[in-house]
Structure 1
Amino acid sequence: MIKIITESKDQVSNEVIEYLLAAGVRFRRINSDIFSSFSETISNTKESECEVIWHRRAFKQLNPSEIQKYPFTYKILDEQDVVNKFIEKKNYFENNIYYGGYIEESQHNKLYDLYLAKKIGLIVPDTIITNKKSELKAFKKDYAKIITKPIKDLIRFRNKNYIYSSPGTFLIEQEHIDFLDENFAISIFQQYIEKEIEIRIFYFDGIFFSMAIFSQNDERTKIDFRNYNYAKQNRFIPFKLENTIQKKLKELLKHKKINTCSIDLILTPENEFVFLEINPQGQFGWVSKNCNYYIEKFIAEKLMINDEKIIKKRFK
């Protein structure tokens, strides 16, 4: 049985499922934003059947929505988190064919990714994590330009009639530093890397699907292509990733024990590849469509091939 854990509005999941439907294979879809009944047995006698699991987005919603209205919701969510992590660890231990994951996404640490990337020989932006103004001033003196961005995720919340959101990646000017107290909230700062192009990569089970993004042709997207200009889209084309970079990225993912993710790189005007970050459950539909990669078909075929292997093994 193929099992897909995703969200009800995730378009790439819909497209993968269309291929499964066309092939007439059995599958089960679990939408993380919708409550689903759940039971799991830990028994001395009962053995679980092997499955092919693609954990595309988020986690299983194991608590009815009515319960989440109460003041102690945070405690129930903590327990749900433990159950979701148990499910994933159990599947790995039992050698189920498991793509993606909740654990790596929930505890994702971009700082550790930078450290690992540097250790295996990838170039990374010089980075400082600090809450001291004096350290930031010293760091700024070393580089013509520096940037800051969220350590983990963008801040976004609603208050009455307004939605507040952090700006993502942006350049730090001297006036920003002057405004700070001697100690401030812990933050990340990096040297600004000049770009020839930005590269978005989707990785699945040993295969890299890479796309070049010509973000430098637009002032709005120069600092970060995610400052989207919907009126004037960046140009996107397929990109062939060098074998040496592929090997280093595979080594990095081996350390992290993940078999699918999205990766962001920069190619500098000096033709050097610079590692930026990994997104364990990153979007890839736009990479697939802009480059005619048909990644959704590739994933569906991988799931079906592995499901067939399990079926044959079961009836040997």
Structure 2
Amino acid sequence: MILCITHSQDTYTIELVQQRLQQLGYPSFRFNSDEFGTRYRLRYRLTPEGPQYQLQHGKQTLNASDVSAVWYRKLWKLQVPPSLDPAYVPAFIKEYNTSLHIFLDALDVPWINPMHIDHGIGNNKLIQLSAAQAAGLHVPQTLISNHAEDAIKFYDANNGDVVVKLHGALSKTMDGAGDFFPTTRLRKEDVPMLESLAACPMILQEYIPKERELRVAYIDGEIFTGSLKAPESTDWRTNSTTIIQWEPYQLPPETAEKIDAMMRLLNLPFGAIDMIVQPDGKYVFLEVNPQGEWGMLEKYLGFPIAETIAEKLVNRITNE
């Protein structure tokens, strides 16, 4: 049994991966992490033979010992029963999160991606940029700071050509819908507002002129790349999805090799990578999101990303 960790609002991508797993002869169990405290029954026991971990969802039962691999797509915020007394909410969240990780920690099987690596890399842009640089990719000058003086010096050193962004996305949807802070070009009139960095550290990077934006889906050595003509806004997610025109893109072999080297340095089997193609043809790495969206590349470009994820999972089981 292959465990697929996602959330209740996830559609399309999860279904495609599960369909391919079924075709390969590997049944899967969809685990909606947001519903763990409301729709799952857990039963953990210490027996003379050792610990046993079991989840039940409707008529489906999953024993940790039956799990042969894990596709870790996303871990979502727990739903809280609306009838629960607010005074008990902190205990509900704490105990269910603890119980969830007790189960997940028991799964000593192949993961795409291993959760601790996924979280560690996703929450640390400096590690990403360092690995990209070590692999030979071009990266933008970068500052992470909570101090206005640092930011102003960085702004001046880059002649005012600077963008700001948060360390983590506030939106987790394929089209960027919902509340999120997009990558934004810093204007001169915004500089006095940098005093507010004390309330929210941010990432400042040199502005990279762009001809095209790339979203690269990397799966255990396989690469699928979609491109967009650079929009007027700094972040493509701020544009209406009706005007976004994804196009297939072929990376130069040497750039693909550097991406592969970077992902192996990070020990990440999967990642959605953002890059820029500059007007002079140079490729610049921006970031890798271990839980990044790729459904639009499969939907609009026909890339077999879901099939590849399923096949790579199965390969990891059979090659153990």
When the two structures are superposed, what TM-score results if normalisation uses the length of structure 2?
A: 0.78
Deviates more, 1:110-119 or 1:28-37: 110-119
Task: Specify which of 94, 113, 124 is matched with residue 109 of structure 1.
Answer: 124
Q: Separation in 2 of the partners of 1:97 and 1:70?
A: 39
Q: Which SS does the other structure have where 1:276 is aligned?
A: strand
Are residue 171 (structure 1) and residue 171 (structure 2) matched? Answer: no
Task: Specify which of 271, 277, 290 is matched with residue 287 of structure 2.
Answer: 277
Are residue 250 (structure 1) and residue 260 (structure 2) matched? Answer: yes
1:218-275 Cα deviation digits (max 9, x unpaired): 42x4x12121223422x32222223333333233323332211211111112222211
Q: Which SS does the other structure have where 1:265 is aligned?
A: strand
In structure 2, relative to structure 1, the CA distance for the partners of 1:87 and 1:270 (3 Å cut) is farther
Instruction: Give the Å deviation of 1:39.
Output: 3.4
Counterpart in the other structure of 1:292: 302
Instruction: Give the aligned CA root-mean-square deviation in angstroms.
Output: 3.2
Q: Separation in 2 of the partners of 1:4 and 1:295?
A: 15
Counterpart in the other structure of 1:53: 70
Counterpart in the other structure of 2:207: 192
Counterpart in the other structure of 2:60: none
- Aligned AA for 1:225? W
Gaps of 5+ in 1: 157-163
Gaps of 5+ in 2: 52-64, 173-177
Counterpart in the other structure of 1:70: 86
Counterpart in the other structure of 1:225: 236
Q: Is the 8 A contact 2:70 2:110 kept in 1?
A: yes
Q: Is the 8 A contact 1:154 1:168 kept in 2?
A: no
| Count of matched residue positions in the alignment of Structure 1 and Structure 2 | 294
Pairing of 1:9-24 with structure 2 (within 5 A): 9-10=9-10, 11-21=12-22
- Aligned AA for 2:157? D
Q: Which SS does the other structure have where 2:145 is aligned?
A: strand
Pairing of 1:17-166 with structure 2 (within 5 A): 17-21=18-22, 25-35=26-36, 36-40=40-44, 45-46=49-50, 48-49=65-66, 51-58=68-75, 65=81, 69-91=85-107, 94=108, 96-107=109-120, 108-144=123-159, 145-154=161-170, 165-166=179-180
- The sequence identity of aligned pairs, in percent, is 26
Q: Is the 8 A contact 1:59 1:84 kept in 2?
A: no
Instruction: Give the Å deviation of 1:68.
Output: 6.1
Q: Separation in 2 of the partners of 1:118 and 1:86?
A: 36
1:126-149 Cα deviation digits (max 9, x unpaired): 111223322222211222411101
Q: Separation in 1 of the partners of 2:223 and 2:269?
A: 11
Q: Is the 8 A contact 2:6 2:74 kept in 1?
A: yes
Counterpart in the other structure of 1:210: 225
1:196-226 Cα deviation digits (max 9, x unpaired): 2111011222211111221x2x42x4x1212
Instruction: Give the Å deviation of 1:297.
Output: 2.5
Q: Separation in 1 of the partners of 2:81 and 2:119?
A: 21
- Aligned AA for 2:236? F
Q: Separation in 1 of the partners of 2:217 and 2:275?
A: 11
Q: Separation in 1 of the partners of 2:196 and 2:30?
A: 51
In structure 2, relative to structure 1, the CA distance for the partners of 1:109 and 1:77 (3 Å cut) is farther
Q: Separation in 1 of the partners of 2:187 and 2:225?
A: 33
1:72-118 Cα deviation digits (max 9, x unpaired): 53454344444444544443xx3x12212443454522233223323
Counterpart in the other structure of 1:6: 6
Q: Is the 8 A contact 2:208 2:278 kept in 1?
A: yes
Q: Which SS does the other structure have where 1:188 is aligned?
A: strand
